[in-house]
Amino acid sequence: MELYFMGTNAGVPSLERNVTSLALRLFDERRTFWLFDCGEATQHQILRSPLKLSKLEYIFITHLHGDHLFGLPGLISSRAYQGGNTPLTLFGPPGLKKFIMTALEISESRISYSLEVVEHEGGILFEDESFCVESALLDHRIDSFGYRITEKDQPGKLDIEMLARHGIKPGPMYGKLKRGESINLPDGSLLHSTDVLGISKPGRIVTILGDTRPCEAAVQLAQDADVLVHESTFLHELAETAYTYHHSTTKQAAEAAKRAGAKQLFLTHFSSRYKYNDQLQQLEREAREVFPQSDLAREHVMYPILRHG
């Protein structure tokens, strides 16, 4: 599981940074990736990345401001040309479906794969045997949501040598033991999964927030997260400006991470006023004064999500 940022600028792109888009790469877990927000030119950023549109499974939109979704129509239309023929599901606030369908209809775009748009107002959006995704409303000028992705605990490794001694070969019996079930051995005795399974691996938690002022929902979504991605549009000297425009400062993002007990914080959504590297480093330094495990999100860098359990 890794994070890959394809846009870290707020509002408009610059020569150095694109507008908001972030991929959660799940190659080892399910051989796909999920996209969070899709600002203009996101499909161009994907072409410059190790990601493939054919592997895109879900898109989660935080809110309906243009710098977070203007890249959707082009990406959806182009996906099939890059081998993307599997179903694609979009999650986002009410109004997302109208935006997508209007753009595709007026442009007479033809989609050759199954496309589903799920509008929501928070709560649990998706759950299977491996992951659960839930959402909550933040504090922004329009409805803006944060997403909490919880990986379920993974069973430990099977003791292959012990199974071989019992005459158990790879197959359905392995699956039963991994699921925590017991099996009957050839001699009629019972073999419990706890006898042959190692220590389970704790699942990881990733929280990705949309644009927001400081709010309790952000802290709750980030509770004990291994990684928190939080907007930090301004240095804290512009806290009043941040409040006026319904955004957060670096210090406020760090305070949210600290309150939530998160393990790592990635800062993103930087104002275009911060053009140079030394200005961005100032954002990082300010956050680290409150929460030392703070890092600037850099575009086209693969960040592994570590297990902290």
Q: Which residues are catalytic?
A: 67
In the chain, helix, strand, coil percent, each to 5?
A: 30, 30, 40
For the chain, helix (H) and strand (E) counts, in that order, are 12, 16
Q: Which residue's structure tokens are 């054919």?
A: 54
CA distance 71 to 87: 19
Is 120 part of any known ligand binding site?
Answer: no
Count of all residues that appear for the chain in the document: 309
Is 63 part of any known ligand binding site?
Answer: yes
Is 153 part of any known ligand binding site?
Answer: no
Is 140 part of any known ligand binding site?
Answer: yes
Is 269 part of any known ligand binding site?
Answer: yes
Is 211 part of any known ligand binding site?
Answer: yes
Is 308 part of any known ligand binding site?
Answer: no
**Which residues line the annotated binding site for Zn(2+)?**
63, 65, 67-68, 140, 211, 269
**Which residues line the annotated binding site?**
63, 65, 67-68, 140, 211, 269
